[in-house]
Every structure is written in C-alpha cells, then in structure tokens.
Amino acid sequence: MSTIKSLDPRVTRFNIEEDDQSMQPLERRDYFETYEVFHQAKRGGRHTHVGSVHAPSPEMAFLFAKEQYGRRSTSTSIWVVRTSDIHTVGDEHSDMWENVPEKQYREAGFYKVRSRIEQFKKRHNDS
C-alpha cells in the first residue's frame, strides 16, 4: 500500500495511506487564502512583487510577509494584496499577447535611435 508523498515533509512522515477513508478534505472555509507580497527596498522606490504567502487575514499575511521577504535585505515597506483581488485574464486568452511582426514600430524597443537618445541623456546627466 503506498503512502502520501507530500511537498510538506511533515505530512509525508505521517505515512498516511493514499486511500485512507478517515481523512476527508476540509470544508472550503478552512483554507487560508493566498496573498501576493510587494516589497520596497528603499524609500520612494517602487514596490516589487516578490512572491506570496498563505494567511487567514490581511494582518497575518503582513506578519508573515515581513519576515519571509523582508528579513534578508533592507526593507522600507511591504504591501500584501489578496490574490483574488487581482484582476487578469486566463491562459485561454494567451493569444491576446501576441503581436504581428509589422506592428513592432509601436514598441519602444523598435527604434534604432533609442540607443542614441540614451547616450545623449547619459552625457547630459554627467555634465
């Protein structure tokens, strides 16, 4: 009889049989939600997405995020946002992101002159 191999080694160590009928899934309300974490490394800088945490409330998500993503580097702020509050569209619409080649003129990277503009800006800032 094979036992459950979980990503969490503590679960694996219990040697729970895979078809153990005594273990029923929890009801929906017993699951924590996920929160997305945004970290600011210096004051005035942008908040960068660094990962997510599981938590039962925004306050707790903040507690976890601060230690999980803020303790190894300098931090000036952390945001947590309920993952379900982020609006996007699913993979079934992935073709939306494709561009036809002849529209590249609409992308900033298309212009050859861009590198010269950067050089000018650099010279200008240095002087």
Partner 1 sequence: MTASNEALKSLLYATADDLLILGHRNSEWTGLGPLLEEDIAFSSMAQDQMGQSLALYEILQRDLGERDPDTIAFLRPESEYRCCHFVEYPIGSYAFSLMRHFLFDQASYLRFAALAESSFKPLAFVSRKLLGEIKYHIMHGNTWMAQLSRGGEESHARMQSALNEAFPMALGIFEKLEHEEELVDAGVYAGSAQLRDLWLQHIEPALAHGGLALPELNAQEAGTAFFGGRKGFHSEHLGSLIEEMGAVLRSDPSADW
Interface characters, 67-86, with partner 1 (x: CB under 8 A): xx--x---------------
Cα angle: 59, vertex 75, 79; to 5 degrees: 35
Tell me the number of residues near partner 1 by CB under 8 A.
Answer: 14
Burial of 40 (0-12, 13-18, 19+ CB in 10 A): middle
Report the Cα–Cα distance between both ends of the chain, in Å, rounded: 75
**57 counts as binding partner 1 under rule CB under 8 A:** yes
Select from 59, 91, 98, 126 the one that contacts partner 1 (CB under 8 A).
Answer: 59
Is there a contact between 22 and 14 (Cβ–Cβ < 8 Å)? Answer: no
The residue range among 20-28, 50-58, 90-98, 100-108 that interacts with partner 1, by the rule CB under 8 A, is 50-58
Is there a contact between 30 and 44 (Cβ–Cβ < 8 Å)? Answer: no
Least Å distance between CB 39 and partner 1? 15
Question: Which residues are near partner 1 by CB under 8 A?
Answer: 8, 53-57, 59-60, 63-64, 66-68, 71
